[in-house]
Amino acid sequence: MNSKNISHIFKIAVILCGGFYFLFALFNIKADIISLNFLLLLILAGYVVPRMTLKLPHSNFFVSFSEPLIFVTFFFFGGEAAIILATLEMAANCFYLKSTGVTFKVLTLPFNVFNAALSTTLAFTVWSLLIGSISFSQQPLSTRDLILSLGILALAQFLSSSIFAAINHSLLHQASLWQTWKRECFSSSMTQIIGAGIAGIIYKLLSSADLLSTTVAFSVFVFAYIYYRQSINEINAAMKKAEQSEREKAAVERVRAEQAEKHIVELNKLLENEEKINEALQKSRDALEYSAYHDFLTDLPNRLYLIERLRLLIEIQIDISHKYYVMFLDLNHFKYINDSLGHTIGDRVLIFIGKCLVRILREEDTVARLGGDEFAIILNDLDSIEEAEQIAKKIHEKLTRPLRLQNHLIFTDLNIGVTPIDAEHKKPEQILRDANIAMHHAKQKGSGVAIFTKELRGIYLDKIKLQTDLRFAIERKELSMHYQPIISLKEGELIGFEALLRWNHSEHGFVSPAKFIPIAEESGLIIPITNWILRQTTKQLTNWQKLPNLAHLIVSVNISGKHLAGKSLVNDVNKALLISKLSPSTLKLEMTESVAMENAEHSIETLNQLKQLGVQLSIDDFGTGYSSLNYLHRLPFDTLKIDRSFVSATGETGENAEILQTVMSLAMNLKMRVIAEGIETEAQLSLLQNLGCHYGQGYLMSKPLPVNEIEKLLGTKRNWLPVSNQTFITPTAISNTKNLQVFN
């Protein structure tokens, strides 16, 4: 059985007992008691008293007038009357409270009502048992009896009613009876004590005072009551107001707290979002940083990364001196791979090389792509430069193996320069410069790998200085043209000139073309310089052609590989012809066979366009490079110039003439005219004449000369061959000439 049911049973028990005693009192009440006074008391108990109850502020104490009324009723009308009055008063009280809005559970109201009946009965029973001998007929009661009676009644009634209430409460809430009584009921003892006090005063007034003093006392009581009630009401109202404002304050605080909580939640959300944003930002920052330091194509570290790493190594230089090495790698002719096979293949070659380098090297080494076809490597902590050289050679060997990509067999070639990082290096750029110098040296030597030395740096710096000077050479009028006559070997007639560039440096005097032409080619300066040469020479020739009997003169201009490989040559030549108004057929362009073969398809196209302009084309230095006969056949050359080395190799008696003979046969088969260069001796001249060589140039006839000297000769000289040679030598004069072999 649950606590609620037990409580119900208890309530019902109290109701039944209280009801029984109420009925018992009702039936046993003496008839003479029912009087006007008693009715008056009943009216007071049923109507006035419930409305007079005062609650003391700041406490649970109630000043009720029901107890005084019950005790007074007891003294004047006996126990039964008091039980009836107590019951009615409690019922009236409950109904009055109900009318003010207090709610009662089903059994609570009858329980309260009959608990009053029961506790009053018990109080009187206790009183009867203890001092029942006191007679009410001997009125008025002595003060001692009155206090004793009231004390017993008040105590007994308080105990019985509070114990019943506490039992009910503790049953309902399953709490300890003692704790419940202490907490819930003890405070009501004051109500009983005050009630007993008031009852004593009323009893004394009613039993012994005269009308006047009773009226005065009653008036004082009414006045005090009204004043007190008003004060209490005001205090209660003030308290209510204060409570209300406290409540409002609390409500405002609560709202504020709720809002603060809301804000905290929102703030947390914001913080969470911010954290996410920060994370995303960090990620994109990382990605940005990565792409700033990496090459997008090969995914290798880039120049910036390498520079940073070198800077770091320089900072800790004392420890790294001669332990770290830097390699500079440059692919040869990578442009041709791009131009002929397309950029996709070009990109794949670069990616392949990057991967290859990473595979060959150790994890602690750094491989970077500097851009284009240039790579750089930092080799960490090696024992010696020889070790670094070995690694470079290994890389060179691996990367010069033919590579097959999308059915193309690609031949990659590269040069590697190696430098140690030493205490002299103050900036990363200086390290890269030294490795680059070594790489250039390797390229020049054709060795593939070269180690940096301080001498190389000197040569390189001189070269850079020369390059800078060359840039301003035209403006400073340091460049001029020399012309070397080209003679028909049969008639000794001047057929034209080879235009040869001269540089009279303001500090160093004449600089050899062998020194400055490669610098001009490397730096790209050769193109503007050649354009200047074309304008100079065509103009010069136009003037010479105006001289008597010289309208047939031609001029041969050397064209560099860079110019042929570019796109502007045809246009540049055409421009020079238009400006000078020179007949195109009297302009000849010379280029070496290896230059023409480098990108044969492009060369064929350009040379054909030049042919369409009407100019003549000549292969220079023939025999020194590798020529594909197949291509040679397709290139629209008019003349072929036998390299000086073949001519100078023939001695006085015509030894070593076989190659000359072979070249002559080849030229004839290709239906080209042949010029021999570097004729220095009469024997060479005779030999060439006997081999049927058409033209020749060489110191024997004339060195390259400046314009004024050429002009002196133009007017006077009729036969340019040496006097002794001016009688033609027949081909039979060469006795030791072997069978002429003809190339097919």
Residue numbers at the binding site for Mg ion (CB under 5 A):
558, 590, 620-621
The closest of 154, 141, 147 to 82, measured between CA atoms, is: 154
- Beta-strand pair 639-642/673-677: parallel
In the complex, minimum distance from the CB of residue 512 to ligand C2E, in angstroms, rounded to a whole number: 6
Residue closer to ligand C2E (CB basis): 137 or 512: 512
User: At closest approach, how far in Å is the CB of 626 from Mg ion?
Assistant: 17
Residue 742 is classified by DSSP as -
d(CA 680, CA 646): 12
Q: Pick what 678 binds: Mg ion, ligand C2E, none; C-beta below 5 to 8 Å, kind-dependent.
A: ligand C2E
Site string for ligand C2E, 661-690 (x = CB under 6 A): ----------------xxxx----------
Which of the residues 297 through 316 are near ligand C2E (CB under 6 A)? none
Binding residue for ligand C2E, selected from 697, 710, 720, 721, defined by CB under 6 A: 697
Select from ligand C2E, Mg ion, none the partner in contact with residue 514, using the beta carbon and a kind-dependent cut-off of 5 to 8 Å: ligand C2E
Q: Specify whether the CB–CB gap between 573 and 613 falls below 8 A.
A: yes
Q: Please check whether residue 524 is in contact with residue 541, taking contact to mean a CB–CB distance below 8 angstroms.
A: no
CA distance 93 to 112: 10
Q: Does 366 bind ligand C2E (CB under 6 A)?
A: no
Integer angstrom CA distances of residue 328 from 154, 165, 303, 451? 116, 105, 12, 11
Complex with ligand C2E: residue 330 or 621, whichever CB lies closer: 621
Q: Which does 593 bind (CB under 5 to 8 A by kind): ligand C2E, Mg ion, none?
A: none
Smallest separation (angstroms) from ligand C2E to the CB of 560: 4
Stretch of 186-194, 391-399, 469-477, 513-521 contacting ligand C2E, by CB under 6 A = 513-521
Q: Does 514 bind ligand C2E (CB under 6 A)?
A: yes
Tell me if 90 sits within 8 A of 113, measured CB to CB: yes
> Cβ distance 146 to 203 under 8 Å?
yes
Buried-exposed string 647-667: b where 16+ CB fall within 10 A, e elsewhere:
bbebeeebeebebbbbbbbbb
Question: Measured from the CB atom, is 46 or 518 closer to ligand C2E?
Answer: 518
Q: Which does 709 bind (CB under 5 to 8 A by kind): Mg ion, ligand C2E, none?
A: none
Residue 667 C-beta: closest distance to Mg ion, Å: 15
| Binding to ligand C2E in span 530-589, by CB under 6 A | 533, 558, 560
d(CA 628, CA 622): 12
Nearer to Mg ion, 593 or 620 (CB): 620
Residue 652 Cβ vs ligand C2E, minimum distance, rounded to whole Å:
16
Using CB under 6 A, which of 193, 410, 459, 500 touches ligand C2E? 500
567: Cβ contacts below 8 Å, ≥ 6 apart: none
CB of 557 to ligand C2E, least distance (A): 7
Q: Select from 87-95, 127-135, 510-518, 603-611 the region that touches ligand C2E (CB under 6 A).
A: 510-518
608-627 mask for ligand C2E (x: CB under 6 A)? Answer: ------------xx------
Taking the least distance from each CB to ligand C2E, the nearer of 121 and 697 is: 697
- Indicate which single residue of 484, 540, 616, 689 sits in contact with ligand C2E (rule: CB under 6 A): 484
**Using CB atoms within 10 A of its CB, is residue 538 exposed (0-12), middle (13-18) or buried (19+)?**
buried
Euclidean distance between CA atoms 611 and 577, whole angstroms: 13
Residue 456 CB, nearest approach to ligand C2E (Å): 24
Q: Considering beta carbons, is residue 396 or 562 the nearer one to ligand C2E?
A: 562
Q: Report the nearest approach of ligand C2E to the CB of residue 565 (Å).
A: 13
Q: How far is the CB of 573 from Mg ion (least distance, A)?
A: 16
Task: Judge whether 414 and 396 are in contact, CB under 8 Å.
Answer: yes
Nearer to ligand C2E, 500 or 714 (CB): 500
> Which one of 215-223, 339-347, 455-463, 494-502 is the stretch in contact with ligand C2E (CB under 6 A)?
494-502
Q: Which of 47, 472, 699, 743 is close enough to bind ligand C2E by CB under 6 A?
A: 699
Which C-beta is closer to ligand C2E: that of 428 or that of 678?
678
682 contacts 725 by C-beta, under 8 angstroms: yes
**Using an 8 Å Cβ cutoff, are 430 and 317 in contact?**
no
Q: Which does 680 bind (CB under 5 to 8 A by kind): ligand C2E, Mg ion, none?
A: ligand C2E
8 A C-beta contact, residue 602 and residue 608: no
Binding-site size, ligand C2E (CB under 6 A)? 21
Closest CA to 366 of 378, 351, 353, 380: 378
Query: Reduced to 3 states, what is the DSSP secondary structure of residue 401?
Result: coil
The partner in contact with residue 294, picked from Mg ion, ligand C2E, none with C-beta cut-offs of 5 to 8 angstroms by kind, is none
Is residue 398 within 8 A of residue 356, CB to CB? The reply is yes
Q: What single string gives the DSSP state of each residue in 345-379?
A: HHHHHHHHHHHHHHHHS-TTSEEEEEETTEEEEEE
The interface partner of residue 500, options being ligand C2E, Mg ion, none and the CB cut-off 5 to 8 Å by kind, is ligand C2E
Cβ at position 725, least distance to Mg ion in Å: 22
Of 261-269, 420-428, 692-700, 713-721, the segment contacting ligand C2E by CB under 6 A is: 692-700
Q: Which listed option, ligand C2E, Mg ion, none, makes contact with residue 501 (CB within 5 to 8 Å by class)?
A: ligand C2E
Distance CA 604, CA 610 (A): 10
Q: Which is nearer to ligand C2E, 388 or 479 (CB)?
A: 479
User: Closer to ligand C2E at the Cβ: 434 or 620?
Assistant: 620
Name, in order, each residue with C-beta under 8 angstroms of 291's C-beta and a sequence gap of 6 or more: none
Note whether 456 and 442 are within 8 A (CB).
no
Q: Which amino acid is at 403?
A: L
How far apart, in whole angstroms, are the C-alpha atoms of residue 576 and residue 535?
A: 5
Considering beta carbons, is residue 83 or 591 the nearer one to Mg ion? 591
Count of residues making up the chain = 744
Return the residues of window 633-662 that contact ligand C2E according to CB under 6 A: 644
Name the residue nearer to ligand C2E (CB basis): 346 or 704.
704
Residue 652's identity, in one-letter code, is E
* Beta-strand runs (E) in 8-120: 54-55, 62-63
Residue 728 DSSP label: P
Closest approach of Mg ion to the CB of residue 478, in Å: 21
**Cβ distance to ligand C2E smaller for residue 69 or 679:** 679
The CB-of-315 to ligand C2E minimum distance in angstroms stands at 46
Smallest separation (angstroms) from Mg ion to the CB of 619: 10
Closer to ligand C2E by CB, 146 or 667: give it. 667
Number of Cα atoms under 13 Å in the Cβ half of residue 247? 6
Residue with tokens 């995303």: 280
The terminus-to-terminus CA distance of the chain in angstroms comes to 128
* CA distances to 66, 374, 489, 591, 616 from 603, in Å: 133, 26, 30, 11, 15
Q: Tell me phi and psi for residue 33, to 5 degrees.
A: -75, -35
DSSP class of residue 44?
Answer: I
Which among 143-151, 177-185, 539-547, 698-706 is the span making contact with ligand C2E, rule CB under 6 A?
698-706
Min dist. Cβ of residue 506 to ligand C2E (A) = 20
Site for ligand C2E in 704-723 (CB under 6 A): 704
Least distance from C-beta 556 to Mg ion, angstroms? Answer: 7
Q: Which run of H or of E encompasses 69?
A: helix 66-77
Residue entry with tokens 């104490």: 61
* H or E element that contains 46: none
Positions touching ligand C2E (CB under 6 A) are 484, 499-501, 513-514, 517, 533, 558, 560, 620-621, 644, 677-680, 697-699, 704
